[in-house]
Structure formats: structure tokens, C-alpha cells
Structure 1
């Protein structure tokens, strides 16, 4: 496909991968073709005048006109963009397109000879730093990353726990807390739940970052900033630590659910929210729903997991019956072949020996709540 780029019109590009590679010079095209062979999750774009004749066969897209007119389309559709263009030109071209670091794609620049791979935009949240390292490794280039937390090998506050699926309650304090981390101020970490292997470097945790057993203990030491990892909703006294702190929600809550056939998604979601509120747990920490396989096609459950992007696990009656539960039910067995649904499903999916809520029946829904132990 050949795109003729015109002012005021965005070309209809073909998108088959998460990343785009763009080249505008003879040597850049040679490098881009070489890179795409190993970086297979990419779409390749370059100027028509450097065509080799095999572009259609290789699904390479060419363009005529200024590459500046192509970039808005790429910005809107790709997770990351590798530009084999001079850094200064890239800065000028992308400046009008920048919106927010939470949504802008990661931008990596390569020089014509492939000597340097430079992380330019959205290094952390957009994944440009990681992409830079990957591209550099593929072509034997030197990676250039200037993000302070990467250079100092310390905690990237905006990415803390991201590989595990952790989310933050609010982005408001990301910047000042990041400043405290890289400026080697006293930063407290309190982790009540979630994966423990978050430190990725082959060096000890910096001395300015200190781990505490509780929020109360951390508050007694008056940290300059705090990273709090918990599935709980904080009480009023504990919230003081968030004056310069970020609250992370690890995905640790499993909801074991049984329900009558045809129970609406609205009722299921209402019971879930009501139950979590009673336990003072955050819905952001829910990992998924577990149930019996008789319910794996239950519309209300499927709609609920789709809405929240949760996992959905189902077990056979035999698997559920292998779990010791508090109140086996002959009535439930007569309908399902299992002596219980919500409780054993929650135990199996979480691996927890003790449940935060063993079982509660509300209307057409029975719910159990487990916290995955780490």
C-alpha cells in the first residue's frame, strides 16, 4: 500500500501490530528492514522512493510526502513508534501531537547507522525505555535512557508493580513522590498484600527507601514520601501518609460466587460492591471471580467480569468437593453435584487457607471473599 500524504488528511493505514517503524532515508530503510525481520510485532513504513519491489509481499507500507503528515495516524493507533530520523526533527514533529504521558505512545529514535537507540517520549508509562532496550539488543546498538529512576536503579514510582497488574488509586502524587525517590529522600514502603518480588535490580534497595510493617509504624518515622500497597481502604488516621504518597492496589482479591440461573449482572455487581464495602476492601484489588463450571456461561457473571476486566475461573463439582468447607449443603449438592460453590471456588482460585468472608447469601447471590497470600 502506498499512502499519498496531504495536509489536513490522515492516511488510512493498515494496523496489524502494536508497534510501528518509520524510515525516511536510504540507510534508514535498510536498517528498518533489518530490524523488522527480528522485531516481528511491528508494522514498517518508509518512503516510496526507496522501495525494493517486495513491499506488498512483506506487508510494508510506503508513503509519498512529508513524514510529519503520517505521524498523527501513528500516534493514534500504535503503542510504540520507532523513528529512524534525527532526534531534533522528531522533537519538532511530535511536539504538536503530545497530550498526556498516560496516553502518548512510547517514542524511540534510531540514528541512520543504528549506533544509538534513544528513549524520547513516554519512557515509563508508554514503555519507551523497555522498547529502547529491546531494539538496542536486536540491532547491537547502545541504548540511551535518561529517566532518573532507571539511571539510578531505583523504584520507578509510576511503574511500581505494573508487571503484576497493580494500579494506583490516584495519579495526583506520582510526580512529587518520584522526586522524593530520585532525590534520595526518606521514602517509606508499606506492603500489606500483593507480590513481594518487585525489586528488579541486582543491588540492594537504596538506603533512603525503608520498609515498614504497618502504616502506623511508617508514620512514626515521618517519611518524606510513601508507597502504600494494600487491598484495604485506609481509615482516616492512615490517610495522612498519602499527603505525599501513592496508594497501590495489588490484584489479590478472589470472589467466589454462586447464583441462581438468570441472576442479573446488576444484582451480582451490587452484592459484590456491598460486600467489599463491608469488608473495607477496594474493588480495584479484585483479580477475578471463581465459580462452578455449571455457571461458566452465566450471562450475569460474564457481563460482570467483562465490565471490570477480571479473570473468570470455573471448577467441576469433583474439584470443589475435594476442598474442605465450613458448611456443606445437601441442597446445593442436589442441584449442582457440589456441597458448596462460592467457598471452595474462592479457596481453590486463591490458595488461601483463611477467607476474609467465608460465605454470605444476598438475594440470588452467594459470595465468598479470599485474599491471595504472598
Structure 2
């Protein structure tokens, strides 16, 4: 816990580019919701609203006045999202403002999550782009008051953030962003993930062109590229990344059954080996699904906690309602379900065709599907 005291600079654990801060009961609920869906964010809220899962979810709690936390956040984060009244925010940040070239973007959300307001460093600090992305994530109204709102293109470092997309590497963020801003030919190839990432009521800028495949994008010789895919690129496709970024949407679902007491190390290794064999990035995994008999299986719980995946389990009757290619009477005898990994994936993902129907490896059975959009 961070204890805030006058004259003492607090120590925070920064893992991401954006900080979310809340100080009220409703603000905390809203902040937890936003933290779940908004990639690259760290969450801070008051200790009196602790729920007991903060360490597991990498949430930092503090006691004392939030005013004393802000100087540290200003130095360390690119953007700060505050679920605090606008007037209070203005008063708290006024003494620590330095320069529009260095101050972070500051965005304020009202306590009910209805309005998202760009407050500080709208252009250079990226608060305008951040406002629109946060508003889209919360289905709220974006309020940007600068005279010339520059929301006419894609904010590369925030691309897909509200869906939880993550990039493979930040190495090319700056040059790719420069190509977007300078209206150079930019290619977009989307192989999976949410299609509604363009949130404005106007067409894409003419210099940003969508291509149906990486091969066609390479042929077009763009200056930069944004690739959205759960798939590991082939060697001949990697030329697109000379000035390109791969974004990983959360679209991959793992179904799993295992013997009681199977160690986390074995479960993890089966997952890693399987994803490599399927040419799938582990960064795109969204959930691990199983039968409710395994909801307390220590090995499964350890793995999902390590990777931050959703852990979903279904009762046998629900699993039996799903389509299954290879029903097993043996599995039914022990569990009441004719299968575990395959129907669990089908239920969660809604996919008709799976990347892997079922594979038995040691103590583990695994199936893999991709959420279709």
C-alpha cells in the first residue's frame, strides 16, 4: 500500500503508459471496469475501497490525499485518467504544471462514467486521442474543447486499447506514428479481432489503406503498417515490420481438461508448445475454459493468474449442449460430460471451426479456438 505523507515522494510500481486514479466508491467500480478493458494502464485507488484482489490484479492502493500522489504520476506516466471532479483536478494539478511539451495528457471522467473530458495536453500530450479511446471503451461521451481537434487519424500507441489489444514491440511506435501523422502511405491488415476500431463518423484518411492480406500489403510498398493478428508471422511476411507494428487482439480461447493434481509447469508447457505448433501468439490468449469440476484445480489457477487470462468453467449439462466431434464415454463416466476442452472452447468462442479440436498430452487435454468477428 502507498502511504501518502506531506514532503515524502511516494514510490509507485509503473508497468504501463497510462495511470487510472479513483477516490470514490462509484469511481473505484468504474476504474476497475476500465482497467479490465483498457490496455497499458495501471490502476490506483484509495485503500478504504479494497476488495481483496488488488495484488492479484496488480492494482495499487493508497491512503492519504491523492494530491500528494499526482507529482509522481506526472513524472512517470504518458497519460493520467482521473475519475474525480473536474474542478478538484484543476486545483490539484495547477501547482505541478510545467510545460505543454512535457506535461502528460490528463483526462477526467465523471463519477457515473457518462462524460470523458480532455483537460490537459490535448494535442502534444495525446489527451484528445486518449479521451476518445476511453469514451469508446466506456460507451461515454467524449468532450474535447480545443479549437482544432486533431482526431482525424489513428493514435498508434492507443490502437485497439479499449479492446485490450497489445503490441508485440514498442520499437516502431514512433516512426509508424510519424508516418500516420505525416500522411504517408500506411497499410492496415486485420486478420482477427474487433472490427469496429474506427470510431469516427467519417471515412479513414485516404493515406491509410486496408489490405486483405499481408502479401498484398507488402506488394503495395507502404511507408508503414499496422497488422492486427493472433498469428505468428511467417519469415517472408516479416518484411512488413521494417516500419510496422503487430497488434495482438484478445481472440484466442484455450479449452483444457487435466488429471487432478497436474502441476502448473506441465499445463503451461503444453499450452506454450501447442500455440507454437499452431503458429499463434500467446499474447492473443483471452481465456482458459474448462469444466466446473476443475474450478479449484491449483495448476490451472496458477497458470491463468500468471498470464492474467479469464478463467471460465461450465457445468457438465452445458458442455453437453455444445457440438463435439469426438464424444468420450470414458470422460462422461468421470465427469458427466462427453468432453471438456472442445465443448468449453466452442461455448466461449462461438467458433464453428477450431484451430485445434483436441490433443492429449500427458495429463492434459487441450483445444484451441479463435473468436470470430
**TM-score normalised to the size of structure 2?**
0.72
Distance 1:164 1:39, change over 3 A: closer
Q: 1:107 touches 1:119 (CA, 8 Å); kept in 2?
A: yes
Residue of structure 2 in register with 1:119 after alignment: 120
Q: Which runs of 5+ in 2 are unaligned?
A: 12-18, 32-44, 47-62, 109-116
Q: Which runs of 5+ in 1 are unaligned?
A: 22-35, 45-59, 99-103, 110-115
State the secondary structure of the residue aligned to 1:360.
Answer: strand
Q: Deviations over 1:14-53 (max 9, x none)?
A: xxx95379xxxxxxxxxxxxxx999897989xxxxxxxxx
Residue of structure 2 in register with 1:175 after alignment: 174
Is 1:200 matched up with 2:199?
yes
The number of residue pairs the alignment matches comes to 313
State the secondary structure of the residue aligned to 1:255.
Answer: strand
Give, in angstroms, the shift of residue 90 of structure 1: 3.6
- Rg larger in structure: 1
Distance 1:323 1:88, change over 3 A: closer
Q: 1:129 touches 1:145 (CA, 8 Å); kept in 2?
A: no
Instruction: Return the alpha-carbon distance in structure 1 between the equivalents of residues 364 and 144 of structure 2.
Output: 57
State the secondary structure of the residue aligned to 2:195.
Answer: coil
Runs of 4+ displaced beyond 6 Å: 36-44, 60-63, 128-133
Give, in angstroms, the shift of residue 327 of structure 1: 1.1
CA RMSD of superposed structures (Å): 4.0
Deviates more, 1:245-254 or 1:152-161: 152-161
Instruction: Return the alpha-carbon distance in structure 1 between the equivalents of residues 10 and 215 of structure 2.
Output: 57
Give, in angstroms, the shift of residue 119 of structure 1: 2.0
Distance 1:143 1:318, change over 3 A: same
Give, in angstroms, the shift of residue 222 of structure 1: 0.4
Distance 1:156 1:199, change over 3 A: same
Instruction: Return the alpha-carbon distance in structure 2 between the equivalents of residues 178 and 72 of structure 1.
Output: 28
Residue of structure 1 in register with 2:352 after alignment: 353
Instruction: Return the alpha-carbon distance in structure 1 between the equivalents of residues 145 and 128 of structure 2.
Output: 18
**TM-score normalised to the size of structure 1?**
0.72
Residue of structure 2 in register with 1:184 after alignment: 183
Instruction: Return the alpha-carbon distance in structure 1 between the equivalents of residues 245 and 69 of structure 2.
Output: 38
